[in-house]
Amino acid sequence: MHRAFLIDPALKAVALENAFIEVYLNRRGIRQMRGRGFIRNILIVQLLEETDEIDLIMDLGDEFKYLLKNPSFEAGKVFSPHIKSTLQFSPNDPWTQISQKEFENLVSRLDLITV
């Protein structure tokens, strides 16, 4: 994955590092997706101070840009400012493909939270 960001409605954002997705068939033969990336958990806490509504935007390369509204997240419990842990995510709703232009416009307006 080229780029991925957690974003809130006010466009505050946290970047995921080394993010990737995995598409697989579950036990019932239904296609599922899950992903992982590294993140500083303290930044997620800062993002959640304002709202519980967190979305994920992903750039998978070429024209493959997606918005996942309100995905499920699981993360480690390390809150040291300089420690990264794995964040796992999976969609709760269908992915929404967005255009390259929409994606770049959105990324240009993000207020990235950093340590």
One-letter identity of residue 19: A
pLDDT at 66: 95
17-59 tens-digit pLDDT: 999 999 999 999 999 999 999 998 888 888 888 888 999 999 9
Phi-psi region of 62 (alpha: psi -120 to 50; beta: other; left: phi over 0): left
Query: What is the rounded average pLDDT for all residues in the chain?
Result: 91
How far apart (Å, rounded) are the C-alpha atoms in residues 52 and 75? 15
Residue range(s) defining the domain that contains residue 105: 3-112
pLDDT at 6: 96
How far apart (Å, rounded) are the C-alpha atoms in residues 21 and 60? 9
At residue 67, does pLDDT exceed 70? yes
Q: Against a cut of 0.75, is the pTM above it?
A: yes
70-91 tens-digit pLDDT: 999 987 776 677 788 899 999 9
pLDDT at 79: 66
pLDDT at 45: 85
Least confident of 13-17, 77-81, 94-98: 77-81
The structural domain count of the chain equals 1
